[in-house]
A = this chain, B = another copy of it.
Amino acid sequence: MAPQRDDARKPVAPRHARPAPLAESPAVQRRTGRPMGRVRIEDVAAEAGVSMKTVSRVLNDEPNVSDATRERVRAVVERLQYRPHPSARVLAGRRSYLVAMLYDNPSSNYLMEVELGVLDACQAQHYNLMLAPVTYDAKDIVSKVEALVLQSRLDGVVLTPPITDDAALLARLDELGIPWSSISPREANRRVGVVVDECSAVVEMIAHLAGLGHRRIAHIKGHPAHGASEWRLAGYLDGLARAGIECDPALVVDGGFSYDSGFEATNRLLELPDPPTAIFAANDDMAAGAIGAICERGLSVPRHVSVCGFDDTPIARHIYPSLTTVRQPTREMGRLAGLELLKEIRGQGQGGLVTVPYTLQLRRSTGPRP
């Protein structure tokens, strides 16, 4: 007589008491007569009359399932409202379904928006997003990130400026075979990620100011570690040249992307013997600082001095006067960076470097030369 093969398949009593007295899978009710809190892949398989593995194949879009079976399984999944247990997938599988976004400055409006975009992309493909603050100038950044990647079994990382330009880090990630995607990387060679043509945007902005009659146009530079600072400076210089304005080096001053740095830089500019009539700050926060400094001297914007920024963060609409700035689609950039990364991770085509469009937002902080 053959061994009792049916018995071997019979589910044993579960170890833990089932917690919730809620929705219940018919398959489980039939089997156990007990209420339970969660439908499992086994229940779906039983209900659809296939093996667990077939259900797994359908769930993961793997080949070798007939269309009919696929449809039947999908219907049961839907009816039972089955969702795979994330931890079980991670533990059993090769993937962690986890990507991290590496960033330096934790509380900027810019990164916040980028984060939301990356989250959009991840959620759509049932990946999780982990936020990983990294001090970009720390000496051990490479080993810190390596520990994180290994510890959390990351499937990939999204890199934000300026971390995205750390050559040693990129090399190590490549060695580890961890896919990565860059947001606004300084160099575009062989990259996956997303960029904006910032230089052209600034050229347009300078043309706008020149069109208003301004000749003495100052620039407050961004933080030197960021590629954006470089592009925005390049656009400023190019824009001046195209407008036939000779650049006065005294009108180009250092900044660091913060409100305070914009405030101080503007004070220096206004104390010049021949001060500017317009200021292009490398981001909105510094532009806000510029407006603060100008107003504090009893001058007014744009009557005495025009001011413009870059990024179009919420503050641009909320200060008085509202800020002329360059809008980059920050959230969309996060989403696209996430999408390209997931392409690489899931091996569904090569990720690439996507260029997204900017828009000039003309508001009240720029006006005719006094």
Contacts and interface: CB of A to CB of B under 8 A. Distances in A.
Interface of A: 16, 19-20, 22-23, 37-38, 83, 85-88, 90-91, 94, 96, 106-107, 112-113, 116, 146, 150-152, 176-177, 259, 285, 288-289, 291-292, 295-296, 314-315, 317-322
5 contacts: A83-B151, A91-B91, A259-B317, A295-B321, A319-B320
A112 B16 CA distance: 38
A19 B95 CA distance: 11
A358 to B, nearest CB: 21
A175 to B, nearest CB: 9
Contacts of A176: 20
Contacts of A38: 150
Given A291-B320, A320-B320, 11 more contacts: A22-B146, A22-B150, A23-B150, A83-B151, A86-B152, A87-B88, A107-B116, A259-B318, A292-B318, A295-B320, A296-B320
A230 to B, nearest CB: 25
B91 A87 contact: yes
A133 to B, nearest CB: 10
B315 A318 contact: yes
Nearest to A17: B94
A37 B178 CA distance: 14
Contacts of A150: 20, 22-23, 37-38
A318 B94 contact: no
Contacts of A94: 16
Contacts of A107: 112-113, 116, 314
A22 B317 CA distance: 50
A108 to B, nearest CB: 10
